[in-house]
Amino acid sequence: MNEDTKRYFAAANSRRGFVSFFEEVFFDAAIELRYVIKGGPGTGKSSFMKRVALFAEGKGMDVEYYYCSSDTNSLDGIVIDGRIAIFDGTAPHSYDTVLPGACDEIINLGAFWDAEALGRAANELRILGEKKRRAYADAYGYLRAAGELGDTLDGVISTCINKQKLKSAAERQLAKLNLKKNSNGRTYTRQIDAFGTLGSMHFDTLGRKASNKYCIDDYYGTAYVYMQELYELARRNGVDVLVSWDTVDTRKPKEIYFCDTGDYFAIYNPKNISNGHISQINMKRFIDVQALSNVRYAYRAAKQAYDALLSLALDSLAKAGKIHGDIEKIYVLAMDFDSLGEYCRSFCERIK
C-alpha cells in the first residue's frame, strides 16, 4: 500500500451506536457489480479483500479501501474503479443481494470452515459473544452520554458566538474558492476518523489530496459552527463535497473537501494538517470575550467530563476487541485457508 492509497472508514461508533455508511458507499448508483461476503470473525474476509485489491492495483485499477471502524486493521470493503464493490455483509452491517445473479453475488466463506468443529465450540462462542455484546453496549452508553454532554457544551458556547459575523465570513470564504455551482451538487461521505478497539484512528486521505488546506482553530469547541455553516453553504450552492463527520456526533462535519477545486477544510488536528501550506481560520474573532468569561469555568468542567466519557468508551471498545480476538481464534482453527486461497486466486481472474 503506497502513500497515495485511498483509505476511509465505512461506519462509525458514535453516540447513536453503530452508524453505517454502507448504503452510500457500496450501493451508489455508479456501482455495477456487488460481491457480498458472508462469514464469521477470523474467516479471512478482510484478507480476501486485501488480496483482491492488490490484484486489481497490479492491473492498474483504482481501489478505495474502506476499513472497519471497530477493528481498524481490518477491511469492511473495497471499491474498484468506482464500479465494483466487495464488502462484508455480516453483522453488524448485515446485507444481502439486491439483484442476485444480475448485479449481486454472495461470497460464502462458510464453505471453507469445519462446521462440526465450530459446533463443538458453540457454547464458548455463545459466552464470548455475550461478553462482546456487553462491552459494545457499555461503549455506546458512554458515547451516548458524551454526545448529550456535548450538546450541553454546544449550548453553553453558542451564546458567545457572533453568528452573523461568522456566516458572513464563511460566505466570503466560499466565494474566494471560485466553485462551479449547479443544482445537482452532492455530499459524499468519506469518513477518515474512527473510535475503534485499537483507539482513535485518523487517515490523511482527504488532506493529502488537497491543493489548498484550511485549518479552523477549535477555540472552546466553536470550530464545528464554522464547519456547519460552510457545509450548508456548499449544499445550497449545489457544490460536490467529500465530508468526514465527527466520530461522536455524525451530524457534524469535521473535514470538508471540495471536489471541484481541491480545497480542504478541517478542524484543527496535527494529524490532518501536518503537510504543506496551511491557511489558519481563527475562531476567536467570532467570540464575545465578555460572554465567554461568564461561562468559561462551566465549559472547562464539562469538557473534562466529556473527555473522561470518551476515555471510558475507548476502554470498553478495547475490551470488546480483545474478546473479538478470542472469537477469531476459534474460527481460524476451523478454517481451510488453503482451499480459500485457491478460490481467491480464481475469483481475482474475474475482476476486469
Q: Which residues contact 233 (CB under 8 A, 6 or more apart)?
A: 170, 171, 174
Q: Which residues contact 169 (CB under 8 A, 6 or more apart)?
A: 226, 285, 286
| Mean pLDDT confidence for 121-144 | 98
Q: Which residue has the cell 482453527?
A: 333
Beta strands 63-67 and 6-9, pairing class: parallel
**pLDDT score of 341 more than 70:** yes
Kindly give the residue spans of alpha helices, DSSP state H, lying in the chain.
22-26, 45-58, 115-120, 122-158, 163-176, 205-209, 223-236, 289-333, 337-348
Angstrom distance (rounded) from CA 284 to CA 312: 31
Q: Which residues contact 89 (CB under 8 A, 6 or more apart)?
A: 36, 37, 38, 95, 96, 106
Write out the three cell numbers for 325. Answer: 480476538
The 8 Å CB, 24+ separation contacts for 202-206 are 202/269, 202/271, 202/272, 203/7, 203/8, 203/9, 203/67, 204/271, 204/272, 204/274, 204/275, 205/5, 205/6, 205/7, 205/8, 206/242, 206/244, 206/255, 206/257, 206/264, 206/266, 206/272
Range of lowest pLDDT (53-67, 213-227, 272-286, 297-311): 272-286
**How high is the mean pLDDT of the chain?**
92
pLDDT tens-digit readout, 69-87? 999 999 999 999 999 999 9
Residue 273 is predicted with a pLDDT of: 54
CA distances from 135 to 52, 182, 314 (A): 33, 46, 10
Residue 197 is predicted with a pLDDT of: 96
**pLDDT score of 310 more than 80:** yes
**pLDDT score of 276 more than 80:** no
Residue 49 is predicted with a pLDDT of: 97
Angstrom distance (rounded) from CA 325 to CA 131: 12
**pLDDT score of 271 more than 70:** no
Range of lowest pLDDT (206-220, 245-259, 270-284, 311-325): 270-284
Angstrom distance (rounded) from CA 140 to CA 213: 33
Please say whether the beta carbons of 8 and 203 come within 8 A: yes
Residue 312 is predicted with a pLDDT of: 98
Q: Which residue has the cell 463443538?
A: 120
Residue 200 is predicted with a pLDDT of: 94
Q: Which residues contact 23 (CB under 8 A, 6 or more apart)?
A: none
**pLDDT score of 24 more than 70:** yes
Residue 264 DSSP code: E
Model pTM score: 0.94
Angstrom distance (rounded) from CA 130 to CA 125: 9
Residue 181 is predicted with a pLDDT of: 72
**pLDDT score of 269 more than 70:** no
pLDDT > 90 in the chain, percent: 83
Residue 113 DSSP code: B
Length of the chain: 352
**pLDDT score of 47 more than 80:** yes
